[in-house]
Structure 1
Amino acid sequence: MYTTFWLNPQFKVALQHPDTEGQSGCSFLVALMQKDRRRQRREGKDMETIGFAIYEVPEEYTGRAGVHLKRDFFLSHSSSARSELFINLREVSSRFCLPQGEYIIVPSTFEPQKDGDFVLRVFSERPADSQELDDEITADMPEEVELDESQIDASFKNLFRQLAGAEMEISTSKLQTILNRIISKHKDLKTDGFGKEACRCMITLTDTTGTGKLGLTEFHVLWEKIKRYLTVFRKFDLDKSGTMSSYEMRMALESAGFKLNNHLFQLIILRYAKEDLNVDFDNFVNCLIRLETMFKTFKEMDTDADGAVSFSFIQWVTLTMFA
């Protein structure tokens, strides 16, 4: 359960006003409703079995009010209350009376790794504050060390000569051919192959000369990135399906150094996942390359490190069209 449960959305409710003066009990009702199930039923899909759990926030966590709680919290803390049943109804609701304090509500399906839209409503007898817990957006990417050709081993140089040909440069079309030949040998990975746009984006990230092609040292940097991405992909493909589920994807992105809030992560799944909401290897690499490009570009433009930049129109068009 806790392998993926902690990745679910989390909502904090602060019960500050007891129902009766001189007592500590705070009454409230929690209702969890599945969205778009009528439409999905017409498509032959049944209701998911849903419910929720409520956890009291201990003192050592109260200062981390807006931070999405991690797996260790749920391994070491039991729930204070739960929905009466996990059942395949459109809406599940339960009434509770708990001592005043801060609580985390975690909605979930009974079976792990099920995706769906929902509405969570909380009705309280007295005023209560609430907020969704979310991660701050950060990127912790390995620092790139400028390489000299003398630092690259002979076997890689020979490989580069074979791949680059007489021009001794890797163009977009060459990179596409190389990557698709390599990936076709990894039978454990599901992929539709790397497209030209994805390869152009990779070259943009690592091309330091502005030629639109990769030399030896630039190709070495890209090669090491893709090897690292492959290691991450295999590590978090927990069911060995050759693809990333949304739960696996979130853990994989965090392992690769990217912490994203729920909104951004949902946009990534919409952009890079297939119809079954799984992400194959080429889209996984495309996603990481694009994230790295955007974080790197923002960091370069944020010269005063205040977390905000301004764009001229030409800068905006250049970034959105060619990044």
Structure 2
Amino acid sequence: MPYLLHDSKLRPPPLPQEARGTHSSGKAYQELKQECLRSGCLFEDPDFPANNASLFFSEKPPIPFLWKRPGDIVKDPKFILGGATRTDICQGDLGDCWLLAAIASLTLNEKTLARVVPLDQNFGPGYAGIFHFQFWQHNEWLDVVIDDRLPTFKDRLVFVHSAERNEFWSALLEKAYAKLNGSYEALKGGSTIEAMEDFTGGVGEMYEVKKAPNNFYEILEKALERSSMVGCSIDTSSAAESEARTPFGLIKGHAYSVTGIDEVSYRGQKVQLIRIRNPWGQVEWNGPWSDKMKFEDFKVHFDKVEICNLTPDALEDSTARKWESPGGDEHLSKDFFRYHASKARSKTYINLREVSDRFKLPPGDYILVPTTFEPHQEADFCLRIFSEKKAITEDLDENVAIDLPEPPNPTPSPQETEEEKQFRALFEQISGKDMEVDAEELEYILNTVLKNTKDIKFKKLSLISCRNIISLMDKIFLQFDFDKSGSMSSYELRSALKAAGYQLNNYLLQLIVLRYSDEQFQIDFDDFLNCLVRLENASRVFQALSVKDKDFINLNIGERTVCVTAAFHSSCHFTTAKAVAIKHFVPRLKEEIFKACLLSGYVITQEANSQFDLRVTSTLATFGKKGS
């Protein structure tokens, strides 16, 4: 059974969620349909217009297509005629046999089909020229709205069509999937397993038939019993072999769907049979047992099998929680893997959307390490774990730990650079005999010297920063600016803070990035210094108020030092990008606002504190409107 990453606390089971609308207007299918019915106009989709841009992006149509609605093609159009079956799918002039193989498998499960193809659609009463279909992508269900204008030539559909000329569900489904991918041309050549996953939210597996396990027949049998979707294909050795026909009527480089598997008795012996379907609706296996084939013949002639396993939660949105890792995780050295041998691992890195594998492991505690081929590849990903028995999964976040050693005395370099000589001369000129400067003088010196440096990117050091520098000055910024960009990314920030003695969990690091970064989520030298100073101040305040061996403090109303409104109104400059990011934290922000304000370094009086709740609610409401 499946287990997603989740909190160890007991939580109620997630409720099924409606598919998220994707139309640019922000309106859902029913709302758009009602608008058309009130106006008496048929729906025309501006997001996927009836022109060549929706057909091809790299070439012109080979023939002039006319976009027509089903009612303009036949007199009595039907959405589904006599039930949706695999025989309703015939391939047109587009090379999307991989998609059709997935659609054919989709028809074998009525519940799965009804999720992708809502059945309460027709060309009868309430018809408004608008249809919708639902697909699973990036761990959520999406609702794709289209109009029913289809590309035709001489009153015949150019692409996918049904064997019955007045049935249109398969053609409209193909159009919705083309819209999801950008154009019809985007469907030329693809992976059957990806289409199956988009239709079900299931987990895909790929087998090389010649290397399949001994119980491969049982694997396929169980998969079909559980309504999993199965496809197969024959490899090609060159482009010339693409769609070449074998002597037994099979097509190379072509996607087939597996629609059945069975064992029968024949002349006193058990014979294992498998049924495959060509999306073309013709050109089938012409060997023994046609139109089925013996499983032994199947293993000889086919090279690849793809299985999309349906999960108990495949038709629902049941994500237990999100796993967030700001700035990436700590880089694991070679020594880590040298002393912690892996018990199982996926195959070599491959350019596929999903990677899955089966492992047999003894009971125990395991660490799962997701990786990318190149470092610092930022992306969202969904990790799903299926186990025969219940397994508990947890996010191994770091505990917050602060180490504040006394700052070391700087050792002079053996030979000064020209920049250091310039700095020393200017310092001696301004500091005088006592060799001391105040914050205003330090501001002038640093801005004069640093404005010509290429190592650090900044606009101007503020007086507040210079005051902070007098108390705390560190070379960590340049040390951990790995790409020498003059600013620090969230990846570099995690390492820099750890070197400075601040081990923070993901949530606190997210708050720091949102507080101190610019629109590109980069942190310049000035903000990095302010961040260090305020972290130290917050840490020392916490240490002063904490009880020994306790990782929390209790505050009375006089000790409660928070200032949310100042942090929002006078200090934080929100860009559109940061507004979108921060809106994600609004539900949790009010609960943990004390942490955020300590990091910002603000203090308010007891009088101001009495208006805290009202001001927070007002600020967040206003901010939500601005960021939307």
Structure 1 length-normalised TM: 0.57
1:184 aligns with 2:451: yes
- Indicate which of 521, 528, 538 corresponds to 1:294: 538
- Mark the CA change 1:144 to 1:251 in structure 2 (over 3 Å): closer, same or farther: closer
Which residue is 2:521 aligned to? 277
Which residue is 2:508 aligned to? 264
Q: CA RMSD in A?
A: 4.0
For residues 144 and 237 of structure 1, the distance between their equivalents in structure 2, rounded to whole angstroms, comes to 21
For residues 430 and 489 of structure 2, the distance between their equivalents in structure 1, rounded to whole angstroms, comes to 36
Contact 1:113 1:245 in 2 (8 A): no
- Mark the CA change 1:102 to 1:242 in structure 2 (over 3 Å): closer, same or farther: same
CA drift at 1:302: 1.7
Contact 1:176 1:195 in 2 (8 A): yes
- Indicate which of 170, 179, 184 corresponds to 2:438: 170
- Mark the CA change 1:69 to 1:183 in structure 2 (over 3 Å): closer, same or farther: closer
SS of match in other structure, 1:86: coil
Which residue is 1:136 aligned to? 399
Q: Which has the higher contact order (CA 8 A, sep 6+)?
A: 1
- Mark the CA change 1:79 to 1:280 in structure 2 (over 3 Å): closer, same or farther: farther
CA drift at 1:70: 5.4
For residues 441 and 139 of structure 2, the distance between their equivalents in structure 1, rounded to whole angstroms, comes to 46
1:95 aligns with 2:358: yes
For residues 337 and 452 of structure 2, the distance between their equivalents in structure 1, rounded to whole angstroms, comes to 40
Contact 2:488 2:522 in 1 (8 A): yes
Identity value in percent: 40
Q: Partner letter of residue 274 of structure 1?
A: D
- Mark the CA change 1:317 to 1:278 in structure 2 (over 3 Å): closer, same or farther: closer
For residues 451 and 501 of structure 2, the distance between their equivalents in structure 1, rounded to whole angstroms, comes to 27
Contact 2:427 2:445 in 1 (8 A): no
1:118 aligns with 2:381: yes
CA drift at 1:271: 2.6
For residues 35 and 276 of structure 1, the distance between their equivalents in structure 2, rounded to whole angstroms, comes to 26
| 1:27-81 deviation digits (Å, cap 9, x = unpaired) | xxxxxx9679x9xx99xxxxxxxxxxxxxxxxxxxxxxxxx89533234434333
For residues 122 and 235 of structure 1, the distance between their equivalents in structure 2, rounded to whole angstroms, comes to 39
SS of match in other structure, 1:142: coil
**Mapping of residues 21-36 of structure 1, within 5 Å:** none
For residues 485 and 339 of structure 2, the distance between their equivalents in structure 1, rounded to whole angstroms, comes to 30
- Mark the CA change 1:121 to 1:95 in structure 2 (over 3 Å): closer, same or farther: same
**Mapping of residues 156-235 of structure 1, within 5 Å:** 159=427, 162=430, 170-171=438-439, 176-195=443-462, 198-199=465-466, 202=468, 219=470, 222=471, 225-226=472-473, 229-230=474-475, 232-235=476-479
Which residue is 1:306 aligned to? 550
Structure 2 length-normalised TM: 0.32
- Indicate which of 304, 308, 317 corresponds to 2:562: 317
Which residue is 1:29 aligned to? none
Q: Partner letter of residue 509 of structure 2?
A: F
| 1:252-300 deviation digits (Å, cap 9, x = unpaired) | 1111111111222232223333343333222222221121111111111
For residues 298 and 164 of structure 1, the distance between their equivalents in structure 2, rounded to whole angstroms, comes to 39
CA drift at 1:199: 5.0
For residues 196 and 285 of structure 1, the distance between their equivalents in structure 2, rounded to whole angstroms, comes to 12
| 1:117-138 deviation digits (Å, cap 9, x = unpaired) | 3332212111112222122211
1:74 aligns with 2:337: yes
Contact 2:487 2:525 in 1 (8 A): yes
Structure (1 or 2) with the larger CA radius of gyration: 2
For residues 185 and 303 of structure 1, the distance between their equivalents in structure 2, rounded to whole angstroms, comes to 48
Which residue is 1:8 aligned to? none
For residues 113 and 314 of structure 1, the distance between their equivalents in structure 2, rounded to whole angstroms, comes to 45
Contact 1:272 1:279 in 2 (8 A): yes
SS of match in other structure, 1:250: helix
| More displaced stretch, 119-128 vs 278-287 | 278-287
SS of match in other structure, 2:360: strand
Contact 2:430 2:441 in 1 (8 A): no
Contact 1:34 1:90 in 2 (8 A): no
Q: Partner letter of residue 499 of structure 2?
A: S
For residues 128 and 69 of structure 1, the distance between their equivalents in structure 2, rounded to whole angstroms, comes to 27
Contact 2:481 2:488 in 1 (8 A): yes
Which residue is 2:416 aligned to? none
For residues 131 and 197 of structure 1, the distance between their equivalents in structure 2, rounded to whole angstroms, comes to 41
Q: Partner letter of residue 288 of structure 1?
A: L
Structure 2 unmatched ranges of 5 or more: 7-136, 143-180, 183-329, 409-423, 564-597, 605-628
| 1:75-98 deviation digits (Å, cap 9, x = unpaired) | 443433333453455543322222
Q: Name the one with the larger helix percent.
A: 1
- Indicate which of 473, 490, 498 corresponds to 1:254: 498
| 1:222-243 deviation digits (Å, cap 9, x = unpaired) | 2xx32xx22x222222232323
For residues 247 and 75 of structure 1, the distance between their equivalents in structure 2, rounded to whole angstroms, comes to 24
Runs (4+) of structure 1 exceeding 6 A deviation are none
- Mark the CA change 1:162 to 1:195 in structure 2 (over 3 Å): closer, same or farther: closer
**Matched residue pairs, number?**
230
Q: Partner letter of residue 459 of structure 2?
A: D
CA drift at 1:178: 4.1
SS of match in other structure, 1:96: coil
For residues 338 and 451 of structure 2, the distance between their equivalents in structure 1, rounded to whole angstroms, comes to 40
SS of match in other structure, 2:392: strand
- Mark the CA change 1:35 to 1:248 in structure 2 (over 3 Å): closer, same or farther: farther
Q: Partner letter of residue 321 of structure 1?
A: Y
